[in-house]
A and B are shown apart, each in its own frame.
Chain A
Amino acid sequence: MDSFFLTYLWPAIVMIGQSLLLLVCLLVFIAYILLADRKIWAAVQLRRGPNVVGPWGLFQSFADLLKFVFKEPIIPAGSNKGVFLLAPLVSVTLALATWAVIPVNQNWVIANINVGILYVFAISSLEVYGIIMGGWASNSKYPFLGALRSAAQMVSYEVSMGLIIVTVLLTVGSLNLTDIVAGQNHGIGTMIGLPSSFLDWNWLVLFPAMVIFFISALAETNRPPFDLPEAESELVAGFMVEYGSTPYMMFMLGEYAAIVLMCALTTILFLGGWLPPLDIAVLNWVPGIIWFILKGMFVFFMFAMVKAFVPRYRYDQLMRLGWKVFLPMSLVLVIVTAFVVKLTAGA
């Protein structure tokens, strides 16, 4: 009985505890990321943004949560009820499931698996199902059009994103996310004799890759300027037209969880994860998680600024950008990186 407890039950309890801790932190973080998004957007447009609930509007997201939960969920009569309710669940579950392998600090990860980056890529490629199912099950024209658009969009941008991930894998030589961060401890900076610093991170050697990854991440998470699946000027609210109250909130939660995930992924792949910008006394006393959050928030700030600045793309322009610009560029990048890695490996 004792061995059963030690081999199965205790690890399970630990894992559930870790997952709950991550989940709670993540959800609170998402609530404030959502507020930050609205505040940044408002600041760019010289508005105040949400400022009524709590000091400086800090509790706005929680007020929204209560509002959504207490509203009556309306399921259209002509909809396919099971799939209609399953769709937001799928999208939020998948978006949160990816976080199982994201390391937020040295050894602070729930599942440190060998194929971590592939897992993230695989799960985020499934996120399109939430949208397709929601759009189809609504049995209505705008949602369906939105769903079709988003399916094509997400599949297209996944291709270039996958190739960019391959370039990172080539330079680091591992699919494990912790190893990818650890691999950024030495690079250009240490080659010329400096201590480990921000010059070693991948953003410097793979700068074009980072730009393509960032833009593809915008398209993959349906953020403006690529928010065609929910383009309100053309499709009202795209695949979410028929949704209200809690299911709608779950779609939004899934979307923002995916956005925060993309910020974390950019941080891990290109900005050195939890590594301090300079490996010297004062900076490396700061816990790694703080650096991780700071970097992630910087990436999110860029996401929010793009939303405020850039006008929406037309659909054909979006497809052209994905297939005719990003795909060839990322392919060339993979080839060049492979050559450079091969040539410098012997030295």
Chain B
Amino acid sequence: MGLQAVFFYLFAFVAVASAFMVISARNPVHSVLFLILVFFNAAGMFLLTGAEFLAMILLVVYIGAVAVLFLFVVMMLDIDFAELRSGFMQNAPMGALVGLILAAELIVVIGGSVITPQAAQSITTPIPSPATRTNTAALGDLLYTNYVYFFQVAGLVLLVAMIGAIVLTLRHRQNIKRQDISRQVARTPATAVEVVKVKPGQGI
């Protein structure tokens, strides 16, 4: 137990500290790098609670893909910091409101589990012990049986979003050369080359 606590405090401390750095770093690229550190420590905490599958998926999806695109965009943007900071007071009430709502919700969640500790157990199916059932198998059993429709709908929503993004950005430009590999491969000497006998002094 002692070692687990040490690691929990390590991950928690680094996560909170780098979360603070995300909002206080002057360089947006540094902010994103700190955000990645937050994700990484969150994955560590998932591991500590025994949710190994979630930890790895967090690494693959959030750090390996989402944050890369994030970094990509932030690096490409030419941000004027002075202008960004000038709007600080205008946006402050909005930010405070969002923060307040988040804090209130957190208090409700934590308060609920303090008042009735058994409530958390009654809303989910009992968690099988990690010794008998691996995390991945347990998650799969739930997702593909009880929640299969929700799972499929979530997939559909993502598919629609993807198609939407493609439709919005795709434009076929005329007048540019396109490579059609199947056509290139299908070319034979008969279709590609014409052998012409040229008589001397005449041209074609």
Find out whether the CB atom of A155 lies under 8 angstroms from the CB atom of B68: yes
Find out whether the CB atom of B60 lies under 8 angstroms from the CB atom of A114: no
Chain A proximity of B78: nearest CB distance (Å): 13
**Chief secondary structure at chain A's binding surface:** helix
Find out whether the CB atom of B59 lies under 8 angstroms from the CB atom of A122: yes
Find out whether the CB atom of B65 lies under 8 angstroms from the CB atom of A155: yes
Chain B proximity of A338: nearest CB distance (Å): 12
Find out whether the CB atom of A115 lies under 8 angstroms from the CB atom of B53: yes
Find out whether the CB atom of A118 lies under 8 angstroms from the CB atom of B57: yes
Q: Which of A90-140 contact B (CB under 8 A)?
A: 113-115, 118-119, 121-123, 125-126, 128-129, 132-133, 136
**Does chain B have a CB within 8 A of A70?**
no
Q: Which of B46-68 contact A (CB under 8 A)?
A: 52-53, 56-57, 59-60, 63-65, 68
Contact with B along A151-172 (1 / 0, CB 8 A): 1000100100010000000000
Closest A residue, CB atoms, query B69: A155
Find out whether the CB atom of A129 lies under 8 angstroms from the CB atom of B36: yes
State A204–B57 Cα separation when bound (angstroms): 29
**Does chain B have a CB within 8 A of A317?**
yes
Known: A115-B56, A118-B53, A316-B179. A136 touches B75 (CB 8 A): yes
**Does chain A have a CB within 8 A of B96?**
no
Chain A proximity of B132: nearest CB distance (Å): 12
Find out whether the CB atom of B59 lies under 8 angstroms from the CB atom of A126: yes
State A236–B30 Cα separation when bound (angstroms): 27
**Does chain B have a CB within 8 A of A304?**
no
**Does chain B have a CB within 8 A of A8?**
yes
Chain A proximity of B104: nearest CB distance (Å): 34
State A123–B55 Cα separation when bound (angstroms): 12
Set A83, A115, A155, A320: member contacting B52, Cβ < 8 A: A115
Residues on the B chain within 8 Å of A133, using CB: 33
State A8–B5 Cα separation when bound (angstroms): 13
Find out whether the CB atom of A128 lies under 8 angstroms from the CB atom of B68: yes
**Does chain A have a CB within 8 A of B3?**
yes
Chain A proximity of B41: nearest CB distance (Å): 14
Residues on the A chain within 8 Å of B29, using CB: 80, 83, 136
Known: A113-B52, A118-B56. A148 touches B72 (CB 8 A): yes
**Looking at chain A, what size class is its interface with the partner chain?**
20 to 34
Known: A8-B3, A114-B136, A175-B136. A125 touches B71 (CB 8 A): no
Residues on the B chain within 8 Å of A115, using CB: 52-53, 56, 135-136
Contact with B along A1-36 (1 / 0, CB 8 A): 000000010000000000000000000000000000
Chain B proximity of A183: nearest CB distance (Å): 15
State A129–B59 Cα separation when bound (angstroms): 13
Closest A residue, CB atoms, query B181: A320
Residues on the A chain within 8 Å of B113, using CB: none
State A128–B179 Cα separation when bound (angstroms): 29
Residues on the A chain within 8 Å of B134, using CB: 114, 175
Chain B proximity of A125: nearest CB distance (Å): 3
Residues on the A chain within 8 Å of B135, using CB: 114-115
Q: Which of A193-226 contact B (CB under 8 A)?
A: none
Find out whether the CB atom of A126 lies under 8 angstroms from the CB atom of B33: no
Closest A residue, CB atoms, query B72: A151
Residues on the A chain within 8 Å of B33, using CB: 83, 133
Find out whether the CB atom of B65 lies under 8 angstroms from the CB atom of A125: yes
State A13–B198 Cα separation when bound (angstroms): 85
Find out whether the CB atom of B56 lies under 8 angstroms from the CB atom of A119: yes
Chain B proximity of A153: nearest CB distance (Å): 11
Residues on the A chain within 8 Å of B56, using CB: 115, 118-119, 121-122
Closest B residue, CB atoms, query A159: B65
Residues on the A chain within 8 Å of B65, using CB: 125, 155, 158
State A126–B30 Cα separation when bound (angstroms): 17
Chain A proximity of B43: nearest CB distance (Å): 8
Closest B residue, CB atoms, query A317: B179
Chain B proximity of A122: nearest CB distance (Å): 4
Closest A residue, CB atoms, query B58: A122
Known: A114-B134, A317-B179. A125 touches B63 (CB 8 A): yes
Contact with A along B19-53 (1 / 0, CB 8 A): 00000000101100100100000000000000011
Closest A residue, CB atoms, query B136: A175
State A148–B53 Cα separation when bound (angstroms): 30
Chain A proximity of B50: nearest CB distance (Å): 10
Contact with A along B83-101 (1 / 0, CB 8 A): 0000000000000000000
Chain A proximity of B112: nearest CB distance (Å): 31
Chain A proximity of B15: nearest CB distance (Å): 17
Contact with A along B136-163 (1 / 0, CB 8 A): 1000000000000000000000000000
Chain B proximity of A13: nearest CB distance (Å): 14
Find out whether the CB atom of B53 lies under 8 angstroms from the CB atom of A126: no
State A114–B36 Cα separation when bound (angstroms): 24
Q: Which of A40-85 contact B (CB under 8 A)?
A: 80, 83
State A148–B63 Cα separation when bound (angstroms): 16
- Return 6 A-B CB contacts under 8 Å, by A number: A80-B27, A80-B29, A83-B29, A122-B56, A125-B65, A132-B68
